[in-house]
Amino acid sequence: MRSLKNLVVVITGASQGIGAAIARHFALEGARLALIARNREKLKAVASDLPLPQKEILVLPTDMRNASAVRVAVQSVRENFGRIDIFINNAGVGINKPVVELSEEEFDTIFETNVKAVFHTFRELIPVFLQQGGGQIINISSGAARIGAPGLAAYAASKAALNILSESVAGEVRNENIKISVLSPASTETRLMSNMSEASRSPSKAALKLTVDEVAEAVIFLARQNSNAWTSMADIRPLLIKR
């Protein structure tokens, strides 16, 4: 397993939940971090709690739905750290409504955040990785991409699209020492999942959730794989043990 010490890791959706947990775990590994989300103050709060010198952390308030903003963020990381080794697309949004109540604007927001933002990332990062001689992208998806969920039709569809987009692009670049992996957690203890209606999950499933740290540990595993090893798709689920 490779060391993560001093690697430059970019994490989107880093202001809370899974993203903040991923940042903590990479900090413990000694990586240098760029934290991305839309809320500057929340990002600064996460950064201040990390066990790293603040000079090893870059805070970048960015709306990943905006192609120009993504380009500026990538350039800023390179200017600050000189390179990018790992980019984690964790930012995501879900709106819990029956499809007949979901507005077109809400549908577009979900797809722009969960799919189009990753498209922007691919377009900006792949040329950088080709120039560097390699790199890794880890996209956080969801178990809902495979089985769907009542009230979360657009969210589930967006994550299914993310999976296919990632797998397709991975095939385009795998011979260039560029790894693209997708991690699909089951239901996780985050604000997004807590906002799901009781109608969209059974009481037994509601009791069986991953913690954000368990998801972060899986991301660390993918990041530490040796250079010739590549995990394309990975699912992570809780054991059938109530906490």
Residue 69 identity (one-letter amino acid): A
pLDDT in tens, 124-174: 999 999 999 999 999 999 999 998 889 999 999 999 999 999 999 999 999
Query: Which pLDDT value is given to residue 228?
Result: 83
Is 138 in a helix, a strand, or coil? strand
CATH homologous superfamily, domain 8-232: NAD(P)-binding Rossmann-like Domain (3.40.50.720)
> Is it the case that residue 237 has pLDDT exceeding 50?
yes
Choose the weakest-confidence range: 34-48, 71-85, 108-122, 205-219.
205-219
Q: Are 11 and 202 contacting, i.e. CB atoms less than 8 angstroms apart? A: no
- Sign of the torsion angle spanned by Cα atoms 129, 72, 92, 163: negative
Catalytic site positions: 155
Q: What are phi and psi of 151, to 5 degrees?
A: 85, -10
* Polymer length of the chain: 243
Query: Which pLDDT value is given to residue 242?
Result: 54
Q: Residue 35's pLDDT band (boundaries 50, 70, 90)? A: very high
- Sheet with 57-61, strands from edge to edge, namely 57-61, 32-37, 8-12, 86-89, 135-140, 178-185, 233-236
pLDDT (mean) for 44-48: 97
> Which among 139, 148, 155 has a CA at the least distance from the CA of 88?
139
> Is it the case that residue 193 has pLDDT exceeding 60?
no
DSSP type of residue 229: -
Query: Which pLDDT value is given to residue 23?
Result: 98
Q: Residue 227's pLDDT band (boundaries 50, 70, 90)? A: confident
φ/ψ bin of 42: left (φ > 0), alpha (ψ from -120 to 50), beta (otherwise): alpha
CA distance to 52, 95, 98, 197, 205, per residue, from 202 (Å): 41, 18, 17, 10, 5
Query: Which pLDDT value is given to residue 198?
Result: 42
d(Cα 234, Cα 243) in Å, to the nearest integer?
23
Q: Are 6 and 83 contacting, i.e. CB atoms less than 8 angstroms apart? A: no
Q: How many helices, marked H, and strands, marked E, lie in the chain?
A: 10, 7
pLDDT (mean) for 66-73: 98
Mean pLDDT of the chain: 92
Query: Which pLDDT value is given to residue 188?
Result: 75
Choose the weakest-confidence range: 44-48, 57-61, 109-113, 227-231.
227-231
Sequence spans of domains, the chain: 8-232
